[in-house]
């Protein structure tokens, strides 16, 4: 006898089949042209427990389809959705008991899909640091600009500033100017808000520094004193004597960057220092170190230090 026929002869062997939905509305959004909803499940109680589920379109946008139409749980998807476009549809599930043959339909689930506009973003403006060298009063100018992307063009730009200087220009760029005497300078800030055609906004800010440096700064030079250092040890670690970096010219403050260019060892830092090297071997070892000095105006000068590490009889 077939299973289905046997089940029918049993009559009330299975409790009545009942179906429902985990939710009656699902939604999804994306900035891409393919939009997928959240999932919905056709629920079941009673029956034999062996069921087949099929999802079917009821009304609305026929471009919305079930991603797994023969599964109890499915999401819904639409492709080719335009920016800012919304699509809706209504679907339902049919649940059939595989043993008894009893078939029921769920209620309707409403699907709402939307393609969002891309978010508006901006890059810039970079900080402004403009200077001139003049023994008299001179107008110093510096510019800032911003680049917008995403959103929905066209874009509008609203600039504001705070500082003892003037601002001119239009659109994505502005120029800041001030007449300054020798050694004169001003420091302020500027900000910009970009708005796209649907009202999305993005903002950014920068600092503005304008300077008249007066007479040209003296050339920057650097030297190491001494330029060669030596260390001797009977242990596994050898430390040399110290060196100092002597700087002249340029504009304080100065910064110092150290690097070993060949040989072995480590050390140096700031305006001088000593060097060290560790080994289990006897003999002399050497390293050459470079110090690059940068002044407040970006001028650079460099010098070298040679270090010799001498290890006595370690055995």
Q: What is the DSSP string of 89-147?
A: EEEEEEEEETTT--EEEEEEEEEEEEEPPPPPEEE-PPPEEEEE--SS-EEEEEEEE-E
C-alpha distances in angstroms, 146 versus 156, 158, 173, 193, 240? 11, 11, 7, 10, 52
The pLDDT score that the predictor gives to residue 314 is: 57
Q: What percent of the chain has pLDDT over 90?
A: 78
- pLDDT at residue 315 in the model: 56
Mean pLDDT of 118-139: 92
- Pairing type for strands 166-168 and 221-225 reads unpaired
Same domain, 74 and 108: yes
Residue 21's pLDDT band (boundaries 50, 70, 90)? very high
Flag whether pLDDT at 2 surpasses 50: no
Both 132 and 51 in one domain: the answer is: no
Distance (Å, rounded) from C-alpha 116 to C-alpha 33? 9
182-229 pLDDT, tens digit each: 888 999 999 999 999 999 999 999 999 999 988 777 899 999 999 999
Q: In which domain, by residue range, is 12 found? A: 3-115
- pLDDT one-digit tens code per residue, 63-93: 999 999 999 999 999 999 988 899 999 999 9
pLDDT at position 84 is 85
Together in a domain, 18 and 108: yes
DSSP-derived secondary structure letter, 4:
H
pLDDT at 258 over 50: yes
Count up the domains in the chain and report the number: 3
CATH number of the domain bearing residue 267: 2.60.40.10
Q: In whole angstroms, give the CA distance from residue 186 to residue 142.
A: 12
* Model pLDDT, residue 3: 36
What is the overall mean pLDDT for the chain? 91
Instruction: Give the Cβ contact number of residue 147 at 10 Å.
Output: 12
Closest CA to 57 of 93, 96, 20: 93
3-state secondary structure at position 3: helix
237-253 b/e with 16+ CB inside 10 Å = b?
ebbbeebebebeebeee
Both tokens of residue 167?
């601002």
Per-residue pLDDT band for 13 (boundaries 50, 70, 90) equals confident
Q: What is the mean pLDDT of residues 118-132?
A: 93
Does 113 have pLDDT greater than 90? Answer: yes
Asked whether residue 110 falls in the same domain as residue 132, the answer is no
Spatial contact of 291 and 313, defined as CB atoms under 8 Å apart: no
- Compute the average pLDDT of residues 274-294: 95
70 and 109 in a single domain? The answer is yes
Alpha-carbon gap, residue 298 to 296, rounded angstroms: 6
For residues 32 and 111, membership in a common domain is answered with yes
Residue where one domain finishes, among candidates 70, 94, 115: 115
Given 212, 239, 271, the domain boundary residue is 212
Task: Name the band, by pLDDT with cuts 50, 70 and 90, for residue 4.
Answer: very low
Clarify whether residues 110 and 125 are in a common domain: no
SS3 169: coil
The whole-model pTM stands at 0.50
Report the C-alpha dihedral over residues 272, 274, 277, 278, rounded to 10 degrees: -140
Residue 49 has what pLDDT? 84
**Residue 132 confidence (pLDDT) above 60:** yes
Question: Taking 50 as the threshold, does the pLDDT of residue 9 lie above it?
Answer: no
Greatest CA separation for the chain: 112
Q: How many other C-beta atoms can be found within 10 angstroms of the C-beta atom of residue 21?
A: 17
């Amino acid at each position: 006898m077939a299973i289905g026929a046997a089940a029918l002869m049993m009559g009330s062997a299975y409790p009545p089949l009942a179906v429902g939905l985990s939710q009656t509305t699902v939604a999804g959004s994306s900035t891409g042209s393919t939009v997928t909803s959240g999932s919905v499940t056709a629920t079941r109680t009673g029956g034999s427990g062996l069921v087949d589920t099929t999802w079917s379109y009821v009304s609305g946008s026929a471009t919305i389809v079930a991603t797994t139409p023969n599964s109890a749980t499915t999401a819904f998807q639409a492709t080719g959705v335009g920016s800012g476009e919304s699509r809706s549809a209504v679907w339902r599930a049919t649940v059939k008991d595989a043993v008894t043959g009893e078939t029921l339909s769920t209620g309707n689930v409403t699907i709402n899909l939307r393609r969002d506009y891309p978010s508006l973003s901006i890059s810039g403006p970079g900080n402004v640091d403009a200077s001139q060298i003049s023994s008299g009063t001179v107008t110093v100018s510096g510019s800032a600009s911003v680049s917008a992307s995403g959103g929905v063009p066209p874009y509008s730009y609203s600039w504001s500033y705070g500082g003892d200087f003037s601002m001119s220009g239009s659109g994505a760029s502005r120029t800041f100017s001030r007449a300054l005497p020798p050694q004169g300078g001003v420091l302020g800030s500027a900000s910009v808000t970009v708005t796209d055609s649907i009202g999305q906004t993005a903002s950014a800010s920068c600092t503005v520094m304008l300077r008249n440096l007066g007479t040209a700064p003296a050339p920057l030079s650097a030297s190491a004193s001494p330029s060669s250092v030596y260390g001797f040890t009977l242990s596994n670690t050898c430390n040399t004597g110290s060196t100092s970096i002597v700087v002249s010219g340029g504009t304080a403050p100065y910064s110092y960057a150290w690097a070993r260019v060949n040989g072995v060892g480590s050390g140096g830092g700031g305006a001088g220092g000593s060097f060290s090297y560790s080994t289990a071997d006897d003999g002399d070892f050497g390293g050459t170190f470079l110090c690059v000095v940068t002044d407040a105006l970006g001028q650079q000068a460099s010098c070298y230090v040679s270090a010799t590490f001498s290890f006595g009889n370690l055995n």
